[in-house]
């Protein structure tokens, strides 16, 4: 198993292949639907005007995300009243909802990895090759276990979106993932989809 610490270089991204298990350490940022939509509309397509404080958030995120990882996660966090934040649960959420946004966000912020579950589609896979970056699959149903890898909360951004949708800057140690989409056009999710379709077509073609 390979151990990787952010920031991640392009050369290292190119070395990673589908099926490779990885332990991630360093800085990553959580982000789900609201965060991706906000980043695209406010700073990439610029169809929405920044609100007070947004430009500072943007500058902070540029530093956190450069060479780093976005995690599709809606965490459960304790210490909200005292701001002594601790991740209680941090399981991956379904990634395909971010398909319209992901490649553009990765390119704009020079992000080198995205973590989630279920994989992503053709646009993201193309972005993996161009940016480059990789998709890491995390373990579904292991939210409490994964939260143990979170060593520190570095900051939280856009809390008005709510705790699960806010962007949490975190420092992790030995976060377990598997590469399932790489920068060479490989996608384990596409392979599984195709093989599943073949089995389904065969079943449907059988006389009963």
* Catalytic position from the list 36, 72, 137, 189: 36
The DSSP symbol for 73 reads B
Burial environment of residue 131 by CB neighbours within 10 A (0 to 12, 13 to 18, 19 or more): buried
- Cα–Cα distance for residue pair 78/86, rounded to 1 Å: 5
- Cα–Cα distance for residue pair 3/25, rounded to 1 Å: 8
| Assigned token pair, 196 | 């599943």
Q: Name beta bridge partners: 22.
A: 2, 177
Q: State yes or no: is 189 an active-site residue.
A: no
State whether residue 161 is helix, strand or coil: helix
Q: How far is CA 131 from the centre of its chain?
A: 15
Element (H, E) at 59: helix 54-65
Compute how many other C-beta atoms are within 10 angstroms of the C-beta atom of residue 60: 16
Q: Which residues are catalytic?
A: 36
């Amino acid at each position: 198993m390979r151990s990787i610490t952010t920031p991640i270089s392009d050369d290292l991204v190119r070395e990673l292949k589908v099926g490779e298990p990885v332990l991630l350490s360093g800085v990553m940022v959580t982000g789900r639907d609201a965060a991706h939509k906000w980043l695209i509309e406010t700073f990439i397509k610029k169809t929405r005007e920044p609100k007070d404080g947004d430009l500072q958030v943007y500058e902070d995120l540029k530093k956190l995300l450069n060479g780093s990882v976005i995690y599709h996660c809606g965490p459960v966090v304790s210490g909200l009243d005292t701001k002594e934040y601790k991740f209680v649960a941090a399981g991956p959420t379904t990634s395909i909802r971010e398909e319209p946004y992901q490649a553009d966000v990765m390119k704009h912020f020079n992000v080198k990895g995205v973590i989630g579950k279920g994989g992503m589609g053709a646009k993201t896979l193309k972005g993996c090759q161009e940016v480059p970056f990789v998709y890491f699959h995390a373990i579904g149903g292991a939210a409490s276990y994964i939260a143990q890898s979170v060593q520190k909360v570095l900051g939280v951004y856009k809390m008005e979106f709510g705790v699960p949708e806010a962007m949490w800057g975190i420092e992790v140690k030995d976060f377990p993932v598997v590469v399932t989409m790489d920068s060479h056009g490989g996608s384990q999710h596409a392979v599984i989809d195709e093989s599943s379709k073949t089995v389904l077509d065969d079943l449907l073609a059988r006389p009963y």
